[in-house]
Chains A and B, each alone.
Chain A
Amino acid sequence: MNDAEIRQLACTLLADIAPDTDPASLAGDIDIREGLDIDSIDFLNFVIALSKSSGRSIPEADYAKLFTLDGIVAYFR
């Protein structure tokens, strides 16, 4: 996946979790938990979806790297 594809995947998964928002309009350095108002259960569901669609295991210690769209892109680059 290239950067744009990773970003689009993340936005699609986030929009399923927070359907009343538009994740694609979020700045890359904004904390998605604040920006989209998602809680720990939502975030866990996001990590599960991200892990399944990327085929990559995401250790809990890496969660903090996934708090922004820029961080997510860098993580899967």
Chain B
Amino acid sequence: MPSLGADMESGKLAQWLVKPGSKVRKGDVIAVVETHKGAFEIDVFIEGVVSELCAKEGEELPVGALLARIAAAGEELAAPARTAEPPQAPPQAPPPALPPAAPPSPPAATPPAERAAKAPAGPIPAPAKAPPALAGGRKKVSPAARRRAEELGIDPETLEGTGIDGSVTLANVELAGAGGGRHRTPAAEPAELKRRTGFDPDQMRQAIAAAMSRSKREIPHYYLGSTIDMARALGFLESYNKERPPEARLLPAVMLLKATALALRDMPQFNGFWEDGRFRKADGIHIGWAIALRGGGLIAPAIRHVDDRSLADLMEALRDLVGRARGGGIRGSEMMEPTFTVTSMGDRGAESVYGVIYPPQVAILGFGRAVERPWVVDGQIVARPLVTASLAADHRASDGHGGSLFLAAVDRYLQEPETL
């Protein structure tokens, strides 16, 4: 049972996606584990054959417990299944910094009966069960899906939901209406292909509360801010995007992400963990990108090796990550890997953000919304798009001087967008 968060003591093996005899390769998802943060896909990082499933579906297990044995390729004896947790990885997890940029929208039109049908309170609820309603309960159905289902004369509660919390979405209804039918016919697809993913907002809130309380209790934060002129970076994007179809276009977010990674490469004292009273530098630059979830809460799964990847590659990774974070389907390894966190307010958020460090990381960088403001260039006042970058860092691991150099490096990279 991998640790999916600093505050995780146990998890429930919700579902096996492999059987004894299944061949697995690095990165394959073999199981779904539910924690109080929600459901996560567990991937492996060895190649071999599953020889034994030790944990039963529904079983609650402490962190470190044996889930399965995998005979590594070319190995006779079965080795305990190692999930993708790096050997010395600090227990880490998602909710990074701040209240989400986007305030949670209330689950509109949720009748009381549906609320009552929620999983009973407990340490590890089952947040995302797609299967038929619990006894006496009703399935979650999105308002748009319910309306469309009515038009089509379909009972939405008979459909398999693939939305957040396993709710039935408009897409599920349209599919069923088109005759493609994702009606729950148990024999239709093998059990190992079904996925249960998603996040329970109440449990997410508890997880954020635990991690952020620990951060503010243990980490002596210091804060620095700088205003960055984004004219060059945005000008570069405009001409880059002009020639390209929508799916190949970049957003300013990837430039902020890449510039941060390059600055971390220059200043590695911000990329790592505070453990056992000292700083440990991380091996790669894996940036946790804070994503506000619809319905409340946020997670910050990792984008790996950001410093080595192209802007186009990072944009695809970011779009994929945001899509999966909102719909469920974030892998356990992605939750454990971040070595640093970035929280960006996007184009509708606040002008600046002062982050709360996600322990055991030692810093978080926040970017406010780009705003057009008067700015002095060569002695002249001109209108420029400006972004406020704010660093919150652990004073045990670094000092304000280093922090200032780090922010200056981020600025410098953003002034040379063609090198990103």
Which residues of B sit under 8 angstroms from A74, Cβ to Cβ? none
Contacts of B318 in A (CB 8 A): 41
Which of B8-16, B97-105, B260-268, B409-417 is found at the contact surface with chain A? B97-105
A2-30: contact bitstring with B at CB < 8 Å (1 yes, 0 no)? 00000000011001101111111100000
Given A20-B164, A22-B143; 6 other pairs, CB 8 A cutoff: A19-B142, A19-B167, A21-B108, A21-B143, A25-B143, A51-B247
C-alpha gap A16/B145 in the complex (Å)? 10
Q: Which residues of B contact A47 (CB under 8 A)?
A: 246
Nearest chain B CB to A43's CB is how many angstroms away? 8
The bracket for how many chain A residues form the interface is 20 to 34
**Cβ contacts A to B, 9 pairs, < 8 Å:** A18-B294, A19-B167, A20-B107, A20-B164, A37-B105, A40-B348, A44-B319, A48-B246, A52-B247
Using CB atoms, name the residue of chain A closest to B240: A60
- Please determine whether A19 and B253 come into contact, CB atoms closer than 8 angstroms: no
Report chain B residues within 8 Å CB of A12: 170-171, 174
C-alpha gap A48/B248 in the complex (Å): 9
Q: What is the CA–CA distance of A23 and B145 in the complex, to the nearest angstrom?
A: 11
Residues A39 and B108 in contact in the complex (CB < 8 Å), given A15-B169, A19-B294, A22-B147: no
Q: How far is the CA of A52 from the CA of B248 in the complex (A)?
A: 13
- List residues of chain B with CB under 8 Å of any chain A CB: 101-103, 105, 107-109, 142-145, 147, 163-164, 167, 169-171, 174, 238, 241-242, 245-247, 249, 251-253, 292, 294-295, 318-319, 322-323, 327, 346-348
A39:B105 contact, CB within 8 angstroms: no
Chain B minimum-CB-distance residue to A40: B347
Q: A19-B164, A37-B105 are in contact. Are A60 and B142 (CB under 8 A)?
A: no
Q: Of A24, A37, A41, which one neighbours B103 at CB under 8 angstroms? A: A37
Contact: A15 with B142, CB < 8 Å? yes
The answer to whether B294 and A20 touch across the interface, beta carbons within 8 angstroms, is yes
Beta-carbon nearest neighbor of A41 in chain B: B322
Contact partner, B319, options A15, A34, A41, A51, Cβ 8 Å: A41
List residues of chain B with CB within 8 A of the CB of A58. Answer: 246
Contact B147 A19 (CB under 8 A): no
Which residues from A are CB-within-8-Å of B163?
19-20
Q: Nearest Cβ distance between residue A59 and chain B, in whole angstroms?
A: 7
A11–B102 touching, CB < 8 Å: no
The 9 A-B pairs of least Cβ separation, nearest first, read A15-B170, A22-B143, A22-B144, A15-B144, A19-B169, A19-B163, A39-B346, A48-B246, A40-B347
In the complex, how many angstroms separate the beta carbon of B270 from the nearest chain A beta carbon? 25
CB pair A24–B253 under 8 Å, yes or no, is no
What residues of chain A lie closer than 8 Å to B171, measured between beta carbons?
Answer: 12, 15-16, 19
- Which A residues lie within 8 Å of B346 (CB)? 39-41
**Could you list which residues of chain A lie within 8 angstroms of chain B, going by C-beta atoms?**
11-12, 15-16, 18-25, 33-34, 37, 39-42, 44-45, 47-48, 51-52, 57-60
**A37 in contact with B170 given A23-B144, A45-B319 (CB within 8 Å):** no
Instruction: Assess whether B245 is in contact with A57, with CB atoms less than 8 Å apart.
Output: yes
* CB nearest neighbor in A for B245: A57
Contact check, B105 vs A59: say whether CB atoms are below 8 A apart: no
Contact (A41, B253) CB under 8 Å given A20-B164, A21-B108, A23-B144: yes
Chain B residues closer than 8 Å to A45, beta-carbon distance: 319, 323
B247 touches A39 (CB 8 A): no
- If A19-B164, A21-B144 touch, does A60 touch B241 (CB 8 Å cutoff)? yes
Q: Which residues of A contact B147 (CB under 8 A)?
A: 22, 24
- A2 CB to closest chain B CB, in angstroms? 18
Question: Which single member of A22, A37, A39 contacts B347 (CB below 8 Å)?
Answer: A39
**How far does the Cβ of B372 sit from chain A's closest Cβ, in whole Å?**
15
For residue A34, give the distance in angstroms from its CB to the closest CB of chain B. 8
Q: Which of A39, A48, A51 contacts B102 (CB 8 A)?
A: A39
Given contacts A11-B144, A22-B142, A60-B241, contact A16 B170 (CB under 8 A): yes
CB atoms of A60 and B169 under 8 A apart: no
CB B152 to nearest CB in A, in angstroms, measures 13
| Set of chain B residues within 8 Å of A18, measured between Cβ atoms | 294
The reply to whether A33 and B246 form a contact with Cβ atoms under 8 Å apart is no
* Closest chain A residue, CB of each to CB of B241: A60
Expressed in whole angstroms, the Cα–Cα distance for A16 and B142 within the complex equals 10
Residues on the A chain within 8 Å of B245, using CB: 51, 57
Please give, as numbers and ranges, the residues of chain A lying within 8 Å of B103 by CB-CB distance. Answer: 37
Given A21-B105, A41-B253, A51 and B246 touching (CB < 8 A)?
A: yes
User: Complex formed: what's the CA distance from A59 to B249 in Å?
Assistant: 10
Are the CB atoms of A37 and B102 closer together than 8 Å? Answer: yes
Kindly state the separation between the CA atoms of A12 and B142 in the bound complex, as whole angstroms: 12
